[in-house]
Amino acid sequence: MKSAIFTLAVILFIGGFACAQDKPVDYGNPTLNTIHSRKSVRNFTGEAVSKEDLQKIVEAGMCAPTAMNRQPWSFVVVTDRQILDKLLEAIPSKKMLAKAGAAIIICALPDKSSKEMSVIDCSLAGENMLLAIESLGLGGLWTAAYPDENMMSSLRTVLGIPDNVIPMNVMPIGHPDGSDKPKDKYKEENVHWDKW
């Protein structure tokens, strides 16, 4: 019995590892393939990201659902290497900026909605953007600034963001070096059918 349990555990481990490390499953649908391929990319080649791709990413963000269509967001797109370096100096924990080709800071505009709803809407925009990044063959990740007052203050200082605007994050974007892989995050125990 113990050996059967051990064998099953090994098979599940290897299967889960393979799912997370190897070529993603083809779901027969490009949207689902992109969702399941998305990963947090922290390792970039240093190559620049084109303005055309960054425009597509921001447009995807603006397609996100938003409460009462308030669209309480604004985006700071950074491509200048000197500014990226200033961000890295101001917030050393964002070390992936060192080789990122660009960064986007999603900013919540609480005067267009409530603070809570603007934060939620900006988070939805961020997920759209991360999926667009993946679909373009680029890499990116959400690195939080909100609710850390020091990080938000640093972003306001470096980028000239007004005090009434909430810098939600720094999203480094670049050409992935291939070392970051998608993870299988599905957990059956977190799914309840029809009732809890």
Place 10 in a pLDDT band, splitting at 50, 70 and 90. very low
Residues 6 and 22 in one domain: yes
Q: Which stretches does DSSP call E strand in 96-168? A: 102-108, 139-140, 143-144, 166-167
Residues 23 and 62 in one domain: no
pLDDT average, residue stretch 175-179: 96
Residues 104 and 130 in one domain: yes
Residues 124 and 153 in one domain: yes
Predicted confidence (pLDDT) per residue in 67-80, tens digit:
999 999 999 999 99
pLDDT average, residue stretch 1-12: 41
Question: What's the pLDDT score for residue 17?
Answer: 40
Residues 123 and 167 in one domain: yes
Question: What's the pLDDT score for residue 66?
Answer: 96
Does 196 fall in a domain? no
Tell whether the model's pLDDT for residue 28 goes beyond 70. yes
Question: What's the pLDDT score for residue 23?
Answer: 63
Mean pLDDT estimate for the chain: 90
Contact between residue 177 and residue 43 where contact means Cβ atoms under 8 Å apart: yes
Residues 8 and 93 in one domain: no
Does 180 fall in a domain? no
CATH classification of the domain holding 132: 3.40.109.10
Residues 120 and 143 in one domain: yes
Residues 3 and 68 in one domain: no
Residue numbers of the domain that contains 13:
1-37
Does 98 fall in a domain? yes
Residues 2 and 96 in one domain: no
Predicted confidence (pLDDT) per residue in 80-109, tens digit:
999 999 999 999 999 999 999 999 999 999
Question: What's the pLDDT score for residue 21?
Answer: 46
- Of 74, 73, 85, 80, the residue nearest 51 (C-alpha): 80
Residues 94 and 119 in one domain: yes
Predicted confidence (pLDDT) per residue in 106-158, tens digit:
999 999 999 999 999 999 999 999 999 999 999 999 999 999 999 999 999 99
Tell whether the model's pLDDT for residue 38 goes beyond 50. yes
The 3-state secondary structure of 50-113, one letter per residue: CHHHHHHHHHHHHCCCCHHHCCCEEEEEECCHHHHHHHHHHCCCCHHHHCCCEEEEEEECHHHC
- Of 135, 141, 129, 131, the residue nearest 95 (C-alpha): 141
Say which residue, 20 or 109, is predicted with more confidence.
109
Question: What's the pLDDT score for residue 25?
Answer: 82
pTM: 0.86
Residues 67 and 131 in one domain: yes
Does 90 fall in a domain? yes
Q: How many structural domains does the chain have?
A: 2
Residue type at 110?
Answer: P
Residues 5 and 68 in one domain: no
